[in-house]
Structure formats: C-alpha cells, structure tokens
Amino acid sequence: MQKDKYALLDTDFISKTHIIQKDAENHLIDRIMELPRYQFYCHNQIRTELARHNVSGSMEWLEEKVSAGQIKCYNDEEILNELESVYGAGASSMYATLLKTACQAYKTGYFEENFKKLQQLDYRNISLSDFLEKLNEDCDNIGAGRNLGEIKTYVLLQMLSLLLGEQIYVFCSDDRNARSAVISIGGVKCISVLSSFLRLKQECDFQFEDAKDYIQSWLGFCDKNKQITFKVQENSEAKRLCKVSCEQVMREIYEDKFEELRTGNLKYR
C-alpha cells in the first residue's frame, strides 16, 4: 500500500503559485493541491505573513483551504501539545531544541540574537503556558521581515519528522539559500516552483497542453521581474549550475530532459 506524503507550504511558494494562473479560478497552487496522497501542512506564521502582504488574494485562498481541512495549520501551542504527548514535561525543552536547529539552518547566531527570553528560562521548572508566553514575546520583538515564517516552518517540519518518522517535503522559496537551509536540517526534500511543474507532470500526468497557460503566466511573471534564465544543474561530475533561458527550461521539462534533485533544483539527465 502506498504511503501518504507529508508536505509543508511556505509563504513564498503559496504567493508565487497563486499568482501563476490559467484564469481567475485556476491557479498553479490549485493543481499542486491535486497531487495524489499528499497531506499538506503550514505554520500559522504563514497566515500572518500572507495577511501582511496579501498578494493577489493568496491569504483568502489559504484561509479557504484551512477551513475546508485541506491544509492543516499548526500554531506554536499545538506544536507544544504534540510534543508533550511524546516528551511529557520535556516538551518546552524539545521545542527550544527544534527552534535552535531551525535558527541555525537559517543564520548562525539568529537564536542567540533574537530569542533572549527563551535563553533565560529554567526548562526543568517551566509550564507550557509560561514557555509559550516568553516565545510569543520574543517573536513579537523580532517583528516583520525577519524570516520568522521560514524558521517556524523549519520547526514544524522537524516536529512532523519526529512524530511521523516519514519523508517530509517542503514546497518552498525559489531562493537557493533558503532551500539549502531546509536541506541542512536533514531528511527533507525541497520542491521549488520550477520543479513543481516536473512533479505535476510525473505524478498527475500534467502534460504540456494542460500546463501551457500556467507556463505563460509563469514566464510573464519572470519577465516582469527581469528574470530571463533559470539555474539548472549540468549532467557532469562537476555538478555545476548553468543558466538556461526560462522558455527553454520550461519546454525541456516536457521533453523529459530533467530529473528533480532533493534541493528542488533540476538536473539534466
């Protein structure tokens, strides 16, 4: 029996794949949600960040999917409760450990610089409610624009990996550094906006004729943002990334010239 796949969605991925559309009712993210046997998750911080920017209605889209039960959205209290079911009184300490790992993956020293109140706690004598209060105070002090959504996503993926013991997928930013941070945590596979076209083709038989309107929308978005090439990996021992025109890469996806790497990059066969 085929197992379910557990997948997290981050802010940038939802925003971009909602912008990429066939028409007002059909967005690329809707096709992603049709991938078979995937269970989708996000952290509540993603809702906060989408609400802050709300590009092209992506916040409303997420709220609709969460309300319908198609995406399970965890907040920090729910993560703590899940950890308590396994680690008991050590739940707060385990959350702090996951948070440190998440911060380290993003940027060395981020935890020490930004989570001052958590560093002062005695984890042998702290209630979950008191821990949550200090965590929220630190997060409020961090404020907007400091990649808190990515860090909370990294915490959630570690929790899911611990509890489920399964491969976790992260549909995430096209930023190579962000995807490298996810991979550094271990046991994770990244899927970028670009590689999601290949995954749809392989798992949903989403062929060029089905994808062409989404491709044109994606290419239009890239052109608007003055992006004319994608980086893909050569088929060589050097494993160099080379720049190939956006249109060529999209065409070659449907000519079976690529395979997907765990970083979310595409590699020539």
Please report which confidence band the pLDDT of residue 228 belongs to, taking 50, 70 and 90 as the band edges. very high
Which of helix, strand or coil describes residue 232? strand
Phi and psi, residue 266, nearest 5°: -100, 145
Least confidently predicted of 9-13, 87-91, 146-150, 177-181: 177-181
Does residue 143 register a pLDDT over 60? yes
Does residue 173 register a pLDDT over 80? no
Residue with tokens 């995954």: 199
> Pick from 20, 56, 259, 49: which is nearest to 151 by CA?
49
Structure tokens at 159: 């929790």
For the ranges 148-152, 161-165, 216-220, the maximum mean pLDDT occurs at 216-220
The average pLDDT across 177-186 equals: 73
214-238 per-residue burial string, b: 16 or more CB within 10 A, e: under 16 = bbebbbebbeeeeeeebebbeeeee
* 182 and 168 Cβ atoms separated by less than 8 Å: no
Structure tokens at 155: 């915490």
Measured CA to CA in angstroms, residue 269 lies from 89, 206, 253, 255 at distances of 50, 20, 11, 11
Span 79-132, pLDDT tens digits: 999 999 999 999 999 999 999 999 998 889 999 999 999 999 999 899 999 999
* pLDDT at residue 220, rounded to an integer: 97
Span 38-78, pLDDT tens digits: 999 999 999 999 988 766 789 999 999 999 999 999 999 99
Does residue 184 register a pLDDT over 70? yes
How would you classify the pairing of strands 229-233 and 188-191?
A: unpaired
* pLDDT at residue 120, rounded to an integer: 95
* 42 and 169 Cβ atoms separated by less than 8 Å: no
pLDDT more than 90, % of the chain: 81
Query: In the predicted model, what is the mean pLDDT of the chain?
Result: 93
Least confidently predicted of 71-75, 134-138, 179-183: 179-183
- Residues 6 or more apart whose CB falls under 8 angstroms from that of 245 comprise 228, 229, 230
Measured CA to CA in angstroms, residue 187 lies from 98, 162, 177, 182, 183 at distances of 14, 11, 17, 9, 7
Q: How many CB atoms lie within 10 A of CB 176?
A: 15
Residue with tokens 């899927």: 191
Q: How many CB atoms lie within 10 A of CB 129?
A: 9
Which of helix, strand or coil describes residue 43? strand
Any bridge partners for residue 73, and if so which? 42
- Radius of gyration from C-alpha coordinates of the chain: 19
Does residue 177 register a pLDDT over 80? no
Any bridge partners for residue 40, and if so which? 7, 71
Does residue 176 register a pLDDT over 70? no
pLDDT more than 70, % of the chain: 96
